[in-house]
Chain A
Amino acid sequence: MSTVDVTGVTAEAGPAPVPDAAPGLREDTPASRRPGAARAWLRLLGSEAGLTFRRPRNLAVLAVLGIIPVLIGVVMRLFAEPIAAEAADGPGNGGAIFAQITGNGLFLTFAALSVLVQLMLPVAVAVVAGDAVAGEAGGGTLRYLLTAPAGRTRLLAAKYGNAVLFCLAAVSVIALSALVTGLALFPIGPITLLSGTTISFAEGLLRIGLVVLYVTAGMAALAAFALALSTLTEVAIGAIAATVVTVIVIQVLGVIPQLAWLQPYLLTQWWNEFDGVLRDPVAAGEMGQGLLVFAAYVVIFGSIAWARFTGKDITS
């Protein structure tokens, strides 16, 4: 795998420093890769993150994500019995996990994530990652960003790093909100895994941490896809909507039995695999494969975004 990678990149590095026609198309020359380059990139990332996390729209998205676990928890607390009975009736659709919440507060985190990972979380990620380049282009600020001697590759990397940070923040907000709600409303104690084994509360917390990291990786893969779309258009809402529509289409494809052979390649199928953490022993094989799939998505769509963004004529 790495050999092909290397040849691809070195073949690329050759013609890159050639002076190009469009403004700001110049790549990082060796001279610009000073030891301070990493720090400069971090500063760029920091300013991007500052913008993202100060934007009212994004804060509203995070707030919505944080409220949903509270809603689920309160509803479960008020109407626990009928819902649990109903959930237990539908076998195999994951509904039974809700029945577990009333027994243990920690399960609210897993239940909330399993609900939100279907659509809400992808929408939130699409809003930030789809807006990353297209939003600047549409607002006419991309040109000014590129006058800074940062280089397009580094700018794109900062944009992606920022999107990943947002993924982590979004997943963490859900997990923390669910954790606090769960602890406040339901009994806590050792938790029962899907395999019927019981683990201590502390280990339960550790496993929540693993789930957060895994789901973040899954969302980071979606962010790469959204970023690639974002470089193709100057209309941010187009990239965002296209990402969300794609997620929905993939999910529909995923439940058609005739397309079962397609499932291992679909991103959304692997998001749900975080339940491997709840098994004993942890389903490391499946989750590792999921991470590989995420990495493949990041590599493919990241490189598409890079090829498009570094070779694009910026007119606005």
Chain B
Amino acid sequence: MSEQTQQRRARRGRAVRWGVPIAAVAVVAGAVGAGPVIAAVQGDPVLPERTAEQLLADALQATKSGPTPMSGTVLQTASLGVPGLPEVSSGMGGTSPAALLTGSHELKVWYGGDERLRLAMPGRMSETDLIVNGDQAWLWESDSSTATRIKDTGEAAGHASGKGPGHESGHESGHPEALPTAATPQQIAKEVLQRADADTAVGVSSSEKVAGRDAYQLTLAPKDASSLVKEVKLALDGETFVPLRVQVYAKSAAEPAFEVGFTSVSFTPPAPENFTFTPPPGAKVKEQSLDELAKGLGADPQARQEKGGKIAEGMRTVGKGWTAVAVLPFSAQDLKGLAPQGQTGEEAGSPEAQAVTDALLKSATPVSGPWGSGKVVRTKLVSALLTDDGRLLFGAVTPEKLTEVAGR
């Protein structure tokens, strides 16, 4: 065998060898990409077709018989485009509820029926748990090793679920203003849809897959062009009609601005141990009412704003449905006055709140018109206009709509 042939063979052998790592990379990439692909392949509608009305009626029927015991992992992703939200702190796995406003966050949920609920927010080497069992509710924070017993638990359960899947889903709940008095779910569904029809385009698809389960998806799109919301998608489990995912799409982006949904879900009743909580030895045990607790957790600037009750008193809304605009008396001094309030006490989020306020003011663009002048802040889903004559207008609408309302 000539030397040349040998060299050629060696080279070919080497080339073939490198096929193995390439194949390995392909296999791994395939495994990573396989999830969506499989979901797409199996995406043929296996669920019977339902109209929006039937779907809503079935869902209401299911709610009446009480939610099904379940457990799962909820992933919440927010990309609201709020200028200056300190994202880095959340990157470190902070467990502050305010951190939920930005980035991706994971929540574990166990629901056992009969007012038994556990929510766990894992952080790095830490965990925050909320355990509701009948008339008992505990908040456990491993960071400070504090167990807080929450008084007034009836509301606590509602508050808890508000932090979970229902968070920021005000767009749906905003619609059935004062639920009609109709008796059967079918009637309620019909009436709700009739009301919604005035300003909302409703669509249903039966081929969704969420957390590996077949689901119906209800699409609600505002008809008014001045809304910043493109559509809201609500996925309901095909069997139990439990809401599995809520996505809010802004007009300015293809990715949802806000999304909360299950990444894994199981409808087998979770183990009862999940709902029992005894403060561990050595832990600080406190007892707090819900209000005090909200103050402690209130790194959320919105919550603080709400607490400024005297500001909210003068609030009124203009318009209704998707394009409702809230108008309240407010000035830049008020905004500055809010921030230092947070610096008292040991609230971890208060410097963040300050930073947010500063960044918001800095990012505001000045506008003026026949109605006067002011500053506009625009995020993906919400615009706010602070006029120089001391009014604050905000809503899920374009800045143009805000100035129009300001002129009225």
- Which residues of A are at the interface with B, using a C-beta cutoff of 8 A? 1, 4-5, 7-9, 11-12, 15-16, 18-22, 25, 88, 91-94, 96-97, 99-100, 103, 110, 114, 190, 192, 194-198, 255-257, 260, 272, 275-276, 278-281, 283, 285, 296, 299-300, 302-304, 306-307, 310-311
The residues of B that contact A5 with a CB separation of less than 8 Å are 23, 27
Interface residues of B in 125-168 (CB under 8 A from A): 125-127, 129, 138, 140, 142-145, 147
Interface residues of B in 253-297 (CB under 8 A from A): 264, 271, 273-274, 277-283
Contact in complex: A296, B28 (CB < 8 Å): yes
Q: How near does chain A come to B184, taking the closest CB pair, in angstroms? A: 40
Instruction: Considering the complex, give the chain B residue whose CB is closest to the CB of A110.
Output: B125
Contact in complex: A91, B28 (CB < 8 Å): no
Bound complex: CA A194 to CA B27 (Å): 36
Closest 9 CB pairs of A and B: A92-B94, A8-B23, A257-B87, A192-B280, A311-B14, A94-B125, A196-B140, A194-B127, A303-B21
26 contacts between A and B (CB under 8 A): A1-B31, A4-B27, A8-B19, A8-B24, A15-B9, A19-B6, A21-B10, A92-B89, A92-B92, A92-B94, A92-B123, A92-B124, A99-B145, A103-B282, A192-B280, A195-B127, A196-B142, A197-B280, A272-B124, A281-B271, A283-B122, A296-B28, A300-B28, A304-B24, A307-B17, A311-B14
The residues of A that contact B147 with a CB separation of less than 8 Å are 196
Contact in complex: B16, A96 (CB < 8 Å): no
Instruction: Considering the complex, give the chain B residue whose CB is closest to the CB of A300.
Output: B24
Contact in complex: B143, A12 (CB < 8 Å): no
The residues of A that contact B126 with a CB separation of less than 8 Å are 91-92, 94, 96-97, 194
Contact in complex: A22, B10 (CB < 8 Å): yes
B83 within 8 A of A: no
Bound complex: CA A280 to CA B104 (Å): 22
Contact in complex: A196, B122 (CB < 8 Å): no
B398 within 8 A of A: no
Contact in complex: A20, B9 (CB < 8 Å): yes
Instruction: Considering the complex, give the chain A residue whose CB is closest to the CB of B10.
Output: A21
The residues of A that contact B280 with a CB separation of less than 8 Å are 192, 196-198
Question: Given A96-B144, A196-B279, 4 other A-B contacts at CB below 8 A?
Answer: A4-B30, A92-B94, A192-B282, A302-B24
Instruction: Considering the complex, give the chain A residue whose CB is closest to the CB of B5.
Output: A21
Contact in complex: A4, B143 (CB < 8 Å): no
Contact in complex: B120, A279 (CB < 8 Å): yes
Q: How near does chain B come to A55, taking the closest CB pair, in angstroms? A: 30
**Which residue of B13, B25, B129 is within 8 Å of A16 (Cβ)?**
B13
B7 within 8 A of A: yes
Contact in complex: B16, A11 (CB < 8 Å): yes
What is the interface size of chain B, counting residues whose CB is below 8 A from a CB of the partner? 63
Contact in complex: A92, B264 (CB < 8 Å): no
Contact in complex: B125, A285 (CB < 8 Å): no
The residues of B that contact A110 with a CB separation of less than 8 Å are 125
**Which residue of B30, B278, B348 is within 8 Å of A91 (Cβ)?**
B348
Contact in complex: B145, A100 (CB < 8 Å): yes
Bound complex: CA A15 to CA B11 (Å): 11
B73 within 8 A of A: yes
Q: How near does chain B come to A225, taking the closest CB pair, in angstroms? A: 13
Contact in complex: A192, B283 (CB < 8 Å): yes
The residues of B that contact A311 with a CB separation of less than 8 Å are 10, 13-14, 17-18
Bound complex: CA A11 to CA B15 (Å): 12
Bound complex: CA A94 to CA B142 (Å): 10
Contact in complex: B143, A296 (CB < 8 Å): no
Contact in complex: B283, A196 (CB < 8 Å): yes
Contact in complex: B140, A195 (CB < 8 Å): yes
Q: How near does chain A come to B107, taking the closest CB pair, in angstroms? A: 13
The residues of A that contact B27 with a CB separation of less than 8 Å are 1, 4-5, 8, 299
The residues of A that contact B274 with a CB separation of less than 8 Å are 281
Contact in complex: A15, B264 (CB < 8 Å): no
Contact in complex: A8, B20 (CB < 8 Å): yes
Bound complex: CA A94 to CA B92 (Å): 9
B88 within 8 A of A: yes
The residues of B that contact A190 with a CB separation of less than 8 Å are 281
The residues of A that contact B279 with a CB separation of less than 8 Å are 196
B323 within 8 A of A: no
Contact in complex: B20, A306 (CB < 8 Å): yes
Bound complex: CA A158 to CA B23 (Å): 23
Contact in complex: A15, B125 (CB < 8 Å): no
Bound complex: CA A99 to CA B141 (Å): 13
The residues of B that contact A280 with a CB separation of less than 8 Å are 273
B354 within 8 A of A: no
Question: Do A91 and B142 contact each other (CB < 8 Å), given the known contacts A5-B27, A8-B24?
Answer: no
The residues of A that contact B43 with a CB separation of less than 8 Å are none
Contact in complex: A194, B125 (CB < 8 Å): yes
Q: How near does chain B come to A250, taking the closest CB pair, in angstroms? A: 14
Bound complex: CA A8 to CA B30 (Å): 14
**Which of A255, A281, A283, A310 counts the most chain B CB atoms within 10 A?**
A281
Interface residues of B in 32-59 (CB under 8 A from A): none
Contact in complex: A15, B12 (CB < 8 Å): yes
Interface residues of B in 53-98 (CB under 8 A from A): 73, 87-96
Contact in complex: A88, B28 (CB < 8 Å): no
The residues of B that contact A92 with a CB separation of less than 8 Å are 89, 92-96, 99, 123-124, 126, 143
The residues of A that contact B113 with a CB separation of less than 8 Å are none
Contact in complex: B124, A304 (CB < 8 Å): no
Question: Do A285 and B140 contact each other (CB < 8 Å), given the known contacts A12-B16, A197-B280?
Answer: no
Bound complex: CA A141 to CA B91 (Å): 47
Bound complex: CA A21 to CA B279 (Å): 71
Bound complex: CA A22 to CA B7 (Å): 9
Q: How near does chain A come to B358, taking the closest CB pair, in angstroms? A: 19
B103 within 8 A of A: yes
Bound complex: CA A260 to CA B99 (Å): 14
Bound complex: CA A255 to CA B17 (Å): 36
B26 within 8 A of A: yes
Contact in complex: A96, B9 (CB < 8 Å): no
Contact in complex: B103, A257 (CB < 8 Å): yes
Contact in complex: B145, A195 (CB < 8 Å): no
The residues of B that contact A306 with a CB separation of less than 8 Å are 17, 20-21
Bound complex: CA A191 to CA B86 (Å): 35
The residues of A that contact B283 with a CB separation of less than 8 Å are 192, 196
